[in-house]
Structures are given as C-alpha cells and as structure tokens.
Amino acid sequence: MIIRCITALCLVGISLAQDDLIAKTSKGSIQGYESASFDGTRVRIFKAIPFARPPVGDLRWKLPVEAQKWEGVKDGRKYAAACMSNSTTSSSPQNWVDEDCLYMNVFVHGECSEAKKCPIIVYFHGGGMNYDSATYFNDTALVETYASKGVMLVIPAFRLGFTGQFTVGDDGELIPSNLNMHDALFGLKFIRDEAAAFGGDKDDLTLMGHSFGGAMSILLGFSPLRKMQVPVQKLIVMSPGLSFDDPELNLRLSTEMIKRAGCTHAFKKVMLDCMMKKSGPELLAIQRTMEEEDHAAGDGALFGGILMRGPLFPFKSFPEMFTKAPKVDIMAGSTIGEMDFPETNTTVTRNSFGMYNGKFVGARNVEELDNLYYNLTTSGKNNQTHLPESQAIYLAVYLASRSIMQGGNKAYVYSFDQPTHHMHTDDLSHLMGIHLFEKDENEKEISQFYPQLFLNFTKYGTPSPRWKSMNLKDRYYSIAVDHETKRYPEMRDFYQQETIDFWLRKAPKIDKMITVTRAAGANLEWDKTKGGFRDLVLEDGEGERQKQNETLIPVLLVHTSYFPSFLLISAVFLLGVALGRYLLADSTSREERMWILGPDGRGIPVDKVPAYAEQMF
Ligand SMILES: *[C@@H]1O[C@H](CO)[C@@H](O)[C@H](O)[C@H]1NC(C)=O
Ligand SMILES: *[C@@H]1O[C@H](CO)[C@@H](O)[C@H](O)[C@H]1NC(C)=O
Ligand SMILES: *[C@@H]1O[C@H](CO)[C@@H](O)[C@H](O)[C@H]1NC(C)=O
Ligand SMILES: *[C@@H]1O[C@H](CO)[C@@H](O)[C@H](O)[C@H]1NC(C)=O
Ligand SMILES: *[C@@H]1O[C@H](CO)[C@@H](O)[C@H](O)[C@H]1NC(C)=O
Ligand SMILES: *[C@@H]1O[C@H](CO)[C@@H](O)[C@H](O)[C@H]1NC(C)=O
Ligand SMILES: *[C@@H]1O[C@H](CO)[C@@H](O)[C@H](O)[C@H]1NC(C)=O
C-alpha cells in the first residue's frame, strides 16, 4: 500500500513530454492526449487514427485502400464516427455514425516508446457485424485495465451491416466478399507497420475479441492470408459467435434493399451503379426498416456474417479450417449461461441464426441433427440444459483450443461460472467497463483478478500460476468466487462435456448414418415437427418391405457380415423409438450405453458389436 502510494505520488506531477503525445506514423503525425489511472499511472491516448482511406464515394463496397499521407499534425483527441449501424437489437446505439469510419484508437502506457516497446492487444468489438463500434467502450476502464498495466490496446473499426456484407450475387466479383474482415486484416497490417510510433511491439501481438469479435480472433487466427501477411503471437477468444453464413442470406437481404432503393435492374452493373449513388443515411434507413419488419432473420440484426471463401477463408468446412492450426497460443472461454436467456425458449431460439451445430463437424445433415438434438432435449431424453446458441459458443471455444493444442501450442480454456452474473457479455463488465451491473462483494473481487488473467496471458504467456493449459482431458479453469462456501477458481476436467460429447462424438456418427441410409435409397423423410424419421422403410431378412409409420430416432449404424448381401447394399441401419429412448438418452455418452440395431432387430450393446461393424467409415 505504501509503495503504491509513493509510486502514485511520484508519478503525479511528472507529466509526459509534449513530444510523447505526438505519434509520428509514416502517413503523418497525430496528436494524442495524456490521461492517468486511479493510482496515477500515466497513459497516452490516440483516437481516430486513419488506417485506410475513407470507404466512401467510389470506394464504397471496395476493398480497403491505403490511407493517404497528410501534412501537419492530425487531431487524435476525439473519436471518429462509428461505422454505420442503427440496429433495434443493440442496447447501445451510437451517437455518431458515418461511412467514413475506418479509424483505430490506441491506449498505451506512458512508458511504452519506440525504444521500450510494449505488447499489443488488438481488440475486436462484438455486435454480429451489425452494430456496436470501436468508439463506444468506457475510456476509464480501458485506461485502468489495459493501458496503465503496461500494454498497448488498439481498437480498430470495421464496416458493419450493409456497408460490409452487401452483395449483388456475383460471387464477389463486383463487390468482394467479407469486406469487414478485410478491413480488420488491413488494420492489422497498419499496426504491423506503424505500432512502433505509438510504443507497441509488433512482434508481440495478441488478437482479442468478444462475441463476434471473439469469432474474428479465431477467423483471423486461422486465416491463411493473415498468416502470410501479419505474424500474430496469441489469441484471446471470449464467448465467440463463430459462423460461416449461407451466401443466400446476404443476397436475399441485398436484393430486397436494392428493390426498396429503386435500383432493381437486369444488369448487375447498372444495379450497382444505382446503389452507389444512394446516400449512406438513405441506405441505413432502409436497412433499419427491413430489420424492423423481418424478425425471421434472427435477433433483429440483419446482415449475416462471414462467407467461407478465399482469399481469407478458403476452406471447405470447419474441420478443414481447424486442422490447420496457426502457431499461436490461445486463451479462450465462455460464460456458463451465455445465450440461455430465461425469457427465450427453445422453440423460439432454435436455429434462429441458422447456426446448425452439426456444421462444426462438417456434417451433411445439419438440419436433421439439429432437429434430433432439439427433440432429445425438449423431450427430456438428455440432460443438456444449454440452448443451441450457447452450445455453438462452447463448440467454437473448444475446437479452436483443441486445434491449437494439437498443433503443439498452448491453449488456456476457461469457463466463467460465477452464478450471480454469467450470461453473454456479463464478464465484459469486468474488462471493458460496459454492460455494467451492481457488483456484490464476490464480484468486486472478480473485477480485481479477472482482468489480470488476460493481461498476464498477454504479457507473460500464462494467465495464472494456478491455471494449467488444456490437456487430453479437456482441462479448464472454472472461474467463480464465493467467500461463504469458499469457492474459488480451480482447474476442472472436461470443458462443457455434454455439448462436446453430443456434437463432436455422437453427431458425426449419426450424420454418416443418415447419409448412408439415404444413399442406399431408404425412404427417409425427416419429420420436423416430431424430430424423427417418418415412414422409415426397413427391409427384413426376406427382402420384404415394411412401412413403419412410427417416428424413429436414429442410433448408430451397424454393418454385420451375416446380413444378406442385398441388405448390406441397401443399408443397414437404424433403430426404433424404443432404442432411441435408451440411446442418446444418456448425455454422458459412455460407449457401453450406446445401442445399435442387431441383425435380428433387437438392440445389442455396442461393446458386443464386432469391431468391423464400424469400419464402414
Ligand atoms: C435510427 O432509426 C430510427 C427509427 O427509424 C430513427 O428515428 C433514427 O433517426 C435512426 N438513427 C440513425 C442514426 O440513423
Ligand atoms: C466506466 O468504468 C468505470 C470503472 O472502470 C466505472 O466506474 C464507470 O462508471 C464507467 N462509466 C460508465 C459511463 O459506464
Ligand atoms: C415458446 O415460444 C413459442 C413460439 O413463440 C410459443 O408458442 C410458446 O408458447 C413458448 N413457450 C413458453 C413456455 O413460453
Ligand atoms: C498474474 O501473474 C503474476 C506473475 O506471475 C502472478 O503473481 C499473479 O498472481 C497473476 N494473477 C492472477 C490473477 O493469477
Ligand atoms: C420427439 O420425438 C418423439 C418420437 O420419437 C415424439 O414422441 C416427441 O413428441 C418428439 N418431441 C418433440 C418435442 O418434438
Ligand atoms: C401411415 O400413416 C398415414 C396417415 O398418417 C396413413 O395414411 C398410412 O396408411 C399409414 N401407413 C401405414 C403403412 O400404416
Ligand atoms: C439426468 O440427471 C439426473 C440427475 O443427475 C439423473 O438421475 C438422470 O438419470 C439423468 N438422465 C439422463 C437421461 O441422463
């Protein structure tokens, strides 16, 4: 305490030299300002740093272009406009939006300098690429949590909504896909080239983000283009909303927008020319109206996320992406509640984002899997209590971490388990000074050490001496504090076990079973309302076809050699309602509880099945 006071006293009075408040980038100089944390630590703040040319006029819907050089000293003491958004979904509307928004903001410790460079955290904001901004965080918290602790925090903007995801359906020729992710990468290149001017060490670069920003941290982490262009050392991934979208969604929305703007035309080029002439506010108003009318698009926010497309994301599937781990360490986690909001119910939220979790394992029958899962859950056949959106978050955390661990780097996984506030964004109140709530004594303590974990990881590579990295038992750090019961953060095994078991272990088998069954010509029709197969055609040993009208729940495909050969070809599958009840009913997924259909039609435990039974795959 005494030492702290003395340090504070020492620092008060010693202001930074005026010269330190002007950063000299290769594009021009920028005037920042000085601020201090509660204990008097001096920090420097630079706002509205242009990292690309304003994407306006002819540059609307174009890839980001290098910023022009400027003469004199640019004023970096105020935020620039936020990127275009006006969503009904966000609880934090922006005061000032404009298409001219590609700026970044820097918060850096007073002692970081070109001679003494500090680790850099690049923070990507959330908001599903539709809202929130690089300018809406709480400066006091950013100074307290990051800059005064010896790092350089950079918050870059990227285009949102129609400015970032618009398409005329030409596969990216007239309007490149993933403009907003290109903005983000462009920002990283600027940081790589200019960080030293602000006191940042480009060779110690951590990408961090929450929600959609967490997904950006993963996506840029795994993008081959990013790997070629900007070396990154660490990723911090908080509650990631990771998804690749169907291009159809953005095409549908864009087409509707074109129609409302009066620009529909048979030639794409003419259509685009017409759209280029519309003002930003006019298009934003159309987007807003469409959002108000179209709740089917999800939670209200309109334009979808990222397309799985080169050059940023030249993958065929998530499994392919996750086999090519970047050489980085990762700290990733989720809150225990995430999207399990009590006011929503599973009927409403199922599939609301088209977030079929089967996509994470590259399943072909994602909709069927989702329905099956939903059926099992709502009918009480498994104990899973999390909604699909929450599970999508756990899966993204898990897959990114596991991939990086298997690539030989370290993965630090956490679950924010504080019972009092543990929903999506609640932990940001400890880190970014937003989504605030009144903290109880236990939560006040969390506010003290939680940010340290992120800082420690950034600065030293390890969040805490007590926190061990992920292993084959999916070890994670369970973060909660309750002084009464003496509950403190501790290591536990099996991060989100039920979700991982179902989607990563059972779902791929069921998916193959559905595919093979269909390929064999079985008349499988998925009954969405019942969540099972309708009118399943089973063949008996004599080749007789029996139509069953019961809804069947798939179990596990078995292939036994003593089936008549035509049966082998025409599929062997499946299982009945009765089996289904056992099956998959057990969320612990111990293999001996899995049942399959034996040749005589009775279920047999999987451990009695000959080994070759599964070799079909
Ligand atoms: C956002 O939309 C509302 C409702 O249409 C409108 O009143 C408001 O002016 C819009 N704000 C901006 C910044 O466009
Ligand atoms: C900003 O964060 C600080 C704590 O870091 C808090 O005391 C303050 O109330 C926050 N300000 C706003 C406007 O939320
Ligand atoms: C859940 O949502 C559906 C669709 O909006 C509604 O019909 C149903 O009553 C809701 N159930 C509960 C328990 O709120
Ligand atoms: C952060 O790291 C320091 C140095 O290793 C350690 O003393 C401290 O306990 C760590 N903080 C937390 C919250 O574990
Ligand atoms: C789930 O499927 C079973 C039949 O297998 C059916 O009886 C039940 O109504 C379904 N439940 C839901 C919630 O769809
Ligand atoms: C299956 O049910 C439908 C009506 O739901 C009925 O028309 C049909 O005859 C039934 N098929 C068999 C084989 O029982
Ligand atoms: C669900 O959990 C309860 C309590 O832990 C247990 O008794 C029950 O068998 C479980 N049900 C299933 C289907 O796993």
> Is 194 inside a domain boundary?
yes
Query: Do 409 and 537 have their domain in common?
Result: no
Atom of ligand 4 nearest to the CA of 464: 14
Band (99; pLDDT cuts 50, 70, 90): very high
Going by alpha carbons, the residue nearest to atom 1 of ligand 6 is 549
Q: With a 6 A CB cut-off, is 488 part of the ligand 4 pocket?
A: no
What is the rounded CA–CA span in Å between residue 356 and residue 352? 9
Cα separation values, 246 from 136, 190, 250, 476, 477, Å: 30, 30, 8, 33, 35
Going by alpha carbons, the residue nearest to atom 8 of ligand 7 is 383
Query: Do 80 and 177 have their domain in common?
Result: yes
Say how many Å lie between the CA of residue 236 and the centre of ligand 2: 23
Residue 616 has pLDDT above 90, yes or no: no
C-alpha closest to that of 126 among 346, 357, 301: 301
Q: Which of 376, 383, 581 to mutate to test the pocket of ligand 7 (most atoms within 8 A of CB)?
A: 383
The SS3 call for residue 581 is: helix
Q: Which of 96, 163, 288 to mutate to test the pocket of ligand 1 (most atoms within 8 A of CB)?
A: 288
**Model-level pTM?**
0.82
* Average pLDDT of the segment spanning 586-615: 34
> Is 470 inside a domain boundary?
yes
Q: What is the pLDDT of residue 580?
A: 39
Going by alpha carbons, the residue nearest to atom 8 of ligand 3 is 347
Identify the domain boundary among 424, 451, 479.
479
Query: Do 318 and 467 have their domain in common?
Result: yes
* Average pLDDT of the segment spanning 133-153: 96
Q: With a 6 A CB cut-off, is 456 part of the ligand 4 pocket?
A: yes
Atom of ligand 1 nearest to the CA of 97: 13
Say how many Å lie between the CA of residue 58 and the centre of ligand 1: 25
* Average pLDDT of the segment spanning 291-308: 70
Query: Do 264 and 238 have their domain in common?
Result: no
Average pLDDT, the chain: 81
Say how many Å lie between the CA of residue 347 and the centre of ligand 3: 6
Band (438; pLDDT cuts 50, 70, 90): very high
> Is 366 inside a domain boundary?
no
Q: What is the pLDDT of residue 526?
A: 52
DSSP 59: G
Q: What is the pLDDT of residue 518?
A: 58
Torsion, Cα 92 198 431 412, to 10 degrees, reads: 130
Residue 509 has pLDDT above 80, yes or no: no
Residue 617 has pLDDT above 60, yes or no: no
Looking at per-residue pLDDT, the higher value among 172 and 26 belongs to 26
Band (247; pLDDT cuts 50, 70, 90): confident
Q: What is the pLDDT of residue 519?
A: 55
> Is 237 inside a domain boundary?
yes
* Average pLDDT of the segment spanning 190-195: 98
> Is 331 inside a domain boundary?
yes
Say how many Å lie between the CA of residue 150 and the centre of ligand 5: 56
The SS3 call for residue 296 is: helix
Residue 515 has pLDDT above 80, yes or no: no
Q: With a 6 A CB cut-off, is 348 part of the ligand 3 pocket?
A: yes
Query: Do 8 and 138 have their domain in common?
Result: yes
Q: With a 6 A CB cut-off, is 377 part of the ligand 7 pocket?
A: no
Band (478; pLDDT cuts 50, 70, 90): very high
Band (408; pLDDT cuts 50, 70, 90): very high
Identify the domain boundary among 429, 454, 479.
479
> Is 290 inside a domain boundary?
no
Q: With a 6 A CB cut-off, is 465 part of the ligand 4 pocket?
A: yes
Q: What is the pLDDT of residue 378?
A: 65
Ligand nearest to the CA of 346: 3
C-alpha closest to that of 189 among 112, 122, 98, 106: 122
Q: What is the pLDDT of residue 93?
A: 77
Structure token digits, residue 600: 């005589």
Going by alpha carbons, the residue nearest to atom 7 of ligand 3 is 347
Q: With a 6 A CB cut-off, is 345 part of the ligand 5 pocket?
A: no
Say how many Å lie between the CA of residue 125 and the centre of ligand 1: 22
Query: Do 543 and 399 have their domain in common?
Result: no
Band (224; pLDDT cuts 50, 70, 90): very high
Give me the phi and psi of 183, to 5 degrees please.
-55, -45
Query: Do 326 and 469 have their domain in common?
Result: yes
pLDDT per residue as tens digits for the range 347-404: 444 544 446 889 898 898 888 787 777 766 666 666 667 888 889 999 999 999 999 9
Structural domain containing residue 257: 248-282
Say how many Å lie between the CA of residue 548 and the centre of ligand 6: 8
Query: CB pairs under 8 A, 24+ apart, for 492-497?
Result: 492/415, 495/394, 495/397, 495/398, 495/413, 495/415, 495/470, 496/334, 496/386, 496/391, 496/394, 496/397, 496/398, 496/415, 497/588
Residue 429 has pLDDT above 80, yes or no: yes
Q: What is the pLDDT of residue 229?
A: 97
What is the rounded CA–CA span in Å between residue 411 and residue 397? 10
Looking at per-residue pLDDT, the higher value among 186 and 5 belongs to 186
Going by alpha carbons, the residue nearest to atom 1 of ligand 1 is 86
* Average pLDDT of the segment spanning 201-229: 97
Contact 125, 142 (CB under 8 A): no
Dihedral class, residue 474 (left if φ above 0, else alpha if ψ from -120 to 50, else beta): left
Burial of 372 (0-12, 13-18, 19+ CB in 10 A): buried
The SS3 call for residue 533 is: strand
Query: Do 452 and 525 have their domain in common?
Result: no
Q: What is the pLDDT of residue 436?
A: 86
Cα separation values, 238 from 36, 123, 129, 308, Å: 27, 11, 16, 22
Query: Do 52 and 93 have their domain in common?
Result: yes
Cα separation values, 91 from 127, 131, 137, 220, 344, Å: 10, 10, 13, 27, 17
Band (572; pLDDT cuts 50, 70, 90): very low
What is the rounded CA–CA span in Å between residue 156 and residue 230? 15
Report the CATH number at residue 142. Answer: 3.40.50.1820
What is the rounded CA–CA span in Å between residue 422 and residue 414? 13
pLDDT per residue as tens digits for the range 480-489: 999 999 999 9
Going by alpha carbons, the residue nearest to atom 3 of ligand 6 is 549
Cα separation values, 26 from 70, 198, 469, Å: 10, 12, 40
Lowest mean pLDDT segment, chosen from 78-82, 287-291, 551-555:
551-555
Identify the domain boundary among 452, 479, 506.
479
pLDDT per residue as tens digits for the range 562-571: 233 333 333 3
Ligand nearest to the CA of 526: 5
Band (225; pLDDT cuts 50, 70, 90): very high
pLDDT per residue as tens digits for the range 592-606: 223 333 333 333 344
User: Sign of the CA dihedral 602, 606, 611, 615?
Assistant: positive
Query: Do 207 and 165 have their domain in common?
Result: yes
Q: With a 6 A CB cut-off, is 464 part of the ligand 4 pocket?
A: yes
> Is 365 inside a domain boundary?
no
Between β-strands 103-109 and 525-527, what pairing exists: parallel, antiparallel or unpaired? unpaired
Radius of gyration of the chain (CA): 27
Band (32; pLDDT cuts 50, 70, 90): very high
Lowest mean pLDDT segment, chosen from 22-36, 345-359, 515-529:
515-529
pLDDT per residue as tens digits for the range 38-83: 999 999 999 999 999 999 999 999 999 999 999 999 999 999 999 9
Q: With a 6 A CB cut-off, is 378 part of the ligand 3 pocket?
A: no
Q: What is the pLDDT of residue 301?
A: 60
What is the rounded CA–CA span in Å between residue 421 and residue 427? 8
Query: Do 252 and 401 have their domain in common?
Result: no
How many domains, the chain? 3
- Percentage of residues in the chain having pLDDT higher than 70: 75
Query: Do 543 and 443 have their domain in common?
Result: no
* Average pLDDT of the segment spanning 110-132: 94
Looking at per-residue pLDDT, the higher value among 194 and 295 belongs to 194
C-alpha closest to that of 259 among 241, 280, 286, 225: 286
> Is 354 inside a domain boundary?
no
Contact 530, 412 (CB under 8 A): no
* Average pLDDT of the segment spanning 421-448: 91
Q: With a 6 A CB cut-off, is 95 part of the ligand 3 pocket?
A: no
Atom of ligand 2 nearest to the CA of 144: 5
Structure token digits, residue 30: 């920028």
Q: With a 6 A CB cut-off, is 345 part of the ligand 3 pocket?
A: yes
